[in-house]
Chains A and B, each alone.
Chain A
C-alpha cells in the first residue's frame, strides 16, 4: 500500500529540467551535412578482380617452391664459398695481391622499382580498359612469362641484398632484366 502519493507527485513536478549545450545541435547539424556523403559511400560499387589474378598468385607460390633461381642462388653461394677458400689457400702460399674492377650498367642498378616493371604496370592499367588484345592467348602467355621473370628478378634482388657486390648475381640479374625488357617489347608490339 502507498499513502500520500500526491506528496511525491508534487515534488516530482518541481524537479529541475536540464538543457543541453548548444554544441549538441552543432554536432547533429554537422552529421546531417555528412549524411549524403555517408549514404553515397555505402553505395559505392565493388570491383571483382580478374580471374587470372588467382592463377598468377597460384603460379607465384609454385615458383617459390620450385624456382630454378633458388638453385642459381645455391650454386652462387657454393661458388663464392669455394672462391674464398681457394683465395685463402693461395694467400697462405704467396703474398700476391690482386684486384678486379666490375663496371655495372647504371640502368641495371637495383632500385625499388625497375623501369620495366613500371612500364609493365602501365600496360596492365591499359589492359583494364582494353580487353580485346589483353585477352589474346599469346598476350596472356607473355604476361605469364613476364610475371615469372619478375619473380625471379625479385628473388635475385633479395639474394643480392642492399649492396649487390656479388658479380655473378649482378650478371644473372642483368640477364633476367634484359629478358623482361624483351618480353615487355613483344607485349607492347601486340598493342
Chain B
C-alpha cells in the first residue's frame, strides 16, 4: 500500500503509475460527489476529468493543511457548481421555525436518492455538502461564496422539501 506522501511525491515527478494510483484511490468518492452535485453522469465525467487534470497540474500548491482528499473535494465542488452554473440564492426572508421530523422508521434509500436529485440545484448542493459530505456552514459559505446564514436557510428549505417528497412518495 503506497502512502499518500509517496503518491504525492510520485505525482510531482510526473510518475504515471503514481498518478494512476492517486486517481484510483479517490475516483469513486470524487465521481459520486460530482454526480450528486451536477445530477448528470456526463457532467460528472467532465468534472472528474478536469478536476484530476488540475490536481496533477497544481499538486505543488497543495500545502498539506487539509488532507489530500479534502483538497481534491474542494476542486470537485468548485468545478461541479461551475459546470452546472449553480447559483445559491441569498435568502431575504427567513422562516425556519417549522420543525422537521424524519421519523423512527428507516428511510427507503432509493426514494431518498430520487428525492435528492429532484431538489433544485442550489438546495441539492447545500444538502450534499452539509449532510452527506459533512462540511460546516462556514466551510460551505467559503466554498460557494455565500453567507453562513444563506447556507443554513438553504439547508433547512432543502430538508423540508426532501421530507415532504419522502412523505408524499
Known contacts A7-B104, A18-B32, A21-B45; is A12 also within 8 Å of B132 by CB? yes
Residues of A within 8 A of B169 (CB): none
Q: How far is the CA of A24 from the CA of B159 in the complex (A)?
A: 33
Residues on B lying within 8 angstroms of A by beta carbon are 14, 16, 19-20, 23, 27-29, 31-32, 35, 41, 44-45, 48-49, 52-53, 56-57, 99-109, 112-113, 116, 131-132, 159
Does B44 contact A18, Cβ atoms closer than 8 Å?
Answer: yes
User: Of the candidates B35, B49, B102, B159, which one forms a contact with A28 in the assembled complex, judged by CB atoms under 8 Å apart?
Assistant: B49
Contact indicator per residue, chain A 18-35, by CB within 8 Å of chain B (1) or not (0) = 111100110111011001
Does A7 contact B109, Cβ atoms closer than 8 Å?
Answer: no
Q: How far is the CA of A4 from the CA of B106 in the complex (A)?
A: 11
Question: Which chain A residue lies CB-closest to B56?
Answer: A32
Residues of B within 8 A of A71 (CB): none
A93 on the B face (CB < 8 A): no
Q: How far is the CA of A27 from the CA of B51 in the complex (A)?
A: 12
A14 on the B face (CB < 8 A): yes
Q: How far is the CA of A21 from the CA of B23 in the complex (A)?
A: 12
Q: How far is the CA of A4 from the CA of B99 in the complex (A)?
A: 11
What's the nearest-Cβ distance from chain B to residue A21, in Å? 7
What is the number of residues of chain A that contact chain B, defined by CB distance less than 8 Å? 27
Further contacts, 18 of them, CB under 8 A, given A12-B132, A28-B23: A3-B102, A4-B101, A4-B103, A7-B106, A7-B107, A8-B131, A10-B106, A10-B107, A15-B116, A16-B109, A18-B31, A18-B35, A20-B27, A24-B49, A28-B52, A29-B16, A29-B20, A32-B14
Q: How far is the CA of A11 from the CA of B159 in the complex (A)?
A: 14
Residues of A within 8 A of B108 (CB): 11
What's the nearest-Cβ distance from chain B to residue A19, in Å? 6
Q: How far is the CA of A27 from the CA of B32 in the complex (A)?
A: 19
Q: How far is the CA of A3 from the CA of B105 in the complex (A)?
A: 12
Does B102 contact A8, Cβ atoms closer than 8 Å?
Answer: yes
Does B159 contact A2, Cβ atoms closer than 8 Å?
Answer: yes
User: Of the candidates A4, A16, A25, A27, which one forms a contact with B20 in the assembled complex, judged by CB atoms under 8 Å apart?
Assistant: A25
| Subset of 13 A-B contacts with CB under 8 Å | A2-B100, A2-B102, A3-B101, A8-B107, A11-B108, A15-B116, A16-B109, A16-B113, A18-B35, A25-B23, A28-B49, A29-B20, A35-B57
